[in-house]
Amino acid sequence: MLWTYRRHAVHTRRKMTKNTVIPPNRQLIDPDRVGAALFVLSDRHARISGPWHSHRRLQLLHVSEGALLVETDAARYVIPPQRGVWVAPGTRHRILSRTPFWLTTCYIDVDHWDMAPISTCAVSVDRLSDALLIAVSAFGETGPNTPAEKRMVEVLKDCLSALSTFDLVLPIPRGDRLRRLTDQLLTDPARSGTLAVLAAEAALSERTAARLFKSETGLSFGTWRLHLRVQAALAHLAAGSSVTETAYAVGYSDVSSFIEAFRTVCGQTPYQAMKSRSDAARER
């Protein structure tokens, strides 16, 4: 499937606003038909609701500003800055965001890259890798031309091979019965209600719903909803919401409980997460 990108995207230092518009006169690029073994495309979007598609190449989806929702048939990921998602070759996926973001995507032909196979997973993207992705995107889909550019790509390859995994993944149930319950929460992460109440609304018993959560997602209902709410919180924070606004938006009645839940999953408080991303943005 063709996916739309601008050729030789321009990377400005200006902040995105809600009025950011992507011009319609861009050139279509099919990543699977590009000759370069590794190339990076970068673009700013006001919002996006992409179709389901897949690529022959290994793909790293990464945002330098804003936040992006990545969905596969098996899981859902929210990636703010300093996070990314490896999408394995042939994996069906789509990307969505209701707010402005800066997308940087790296495509790799694994037949021409000596590395261990990578499965679809979330990763932490360090500042050096972030800076290299942006720099290499200036080469466009043609890839590096000069010796200096080729050396830069080699350094990027070494950095990408060393990215550490990030465990905030939301498994998607396989069966329709549990999907009736989880679809309601995916639509509204702040929705309250015990498992008994939510299961009854989905025509399930509490015991059956609990069993299905463990067998189809590997998580208990409580952990699954915690991960869902923290994913939603990452998107709110990346879009500029305050910690208090975010806590209420994702279903917490008090901010301290939200902060503790966020720290449990992410290993840092929302304030620390916001500060580290703000520091990284100022260094660009």
Q: What pLDDT score was predicted for residue 277?
A: 61
Q: What pLDDT score was predicted for residue 23?
A: 42
CATH 1.10.10.60 region(s) of the chain?
Answer: 173-283
Q: Chain-centre distance of CA 274, in angstroms?
A: 17
Average the pLDDT over 69-93 and give the result: 93
Per-residue pLDDT at 22 exceeds 50: no
Q: What pLDDT score was predicted for residue 167?
A: 74
Per-residue pLDDT at 284 exceeds 80: no
Query: Is the dihedral angle over the CA atoms 33, 85, 238, 254 positive or is it negative?
Result: positive
User: Lowest mean pLDDT: which of 27-36, 98-107, 274-283?
Assistant: 274-283
Fold of the CATH domain 173-283: Arc Repressor Mutant, subunit A (1.10.10)
Query: Is the dihedral angle over the CA atoms 257, 258, 259, 263 positive or is it negative?
Result: positive
Rounded-to-integer distance, Cα 160 and Cα 179, Å: 34
- Rounded to whole angstroms, the maximal C-alpha distance in the chain is 64
Q: What pLDDT score was predicted for residue 19?
A: 38
Rounded-to-integer distance, Cα 129 and Cα 156, Å: 7
Q: Which residue has the higher pLDDT, 281 or 145?
A: 145
Per-residue pLDDT at 156 exceeds 60: yes
239 three-state secondary structure: coil
Buried b (16+ CB within 10 A) or exposed e, 90-103: ebebebebebbbbb
Rounded-to-integer distance, Cα 36 and Cα 207, Å: 53
CATH 2.60.120.280 region(s) of the chain?
Answer: 3-161
Q: pLDDT band at 278, cuts 50/70/90?
A: low
Most confident of the following: 33-47, 161-175, 199-213? 199-213
**Residue partners of 146: CB distance under 8 A and separation at least 6:** none
* β-pairing verdict for 121-124 and 68-72: unpaired
CATH class of this structure's domain 3-161: mainly beta
Q: What pLDDT score was predicted for residue 20?
A: 37
Q: Are 265 and 226 in contact (CB under 8 A)?
A: yes
Q: Are 213 and 220 in contact (CB under 8 A)?
A: yes
Q: What pLDDT score was predicted for residue 170?
A: 94
Average the pLDDT over 108-132 and give the result: 88
Per-residue pLDDT at 231 exceeds 50: yes
**Can you list the positions of beta strands (E) in the chain?**
3-4, 28-29, 38-45, 48-49, 58-65, 68-72, 75-79, 83-87, 93-97, 101-108, 121-124, 170-171
Rounded-to-integer distance, Cα 249 and Cα 239, Å: 13
| Residue that has been written with the tokens 């209701």 in this structure | 98
Q: pLDDT band at 24, cuts 50/70/90?
A: very low
Per-residue pLDDT at 283 exceeds 60: no
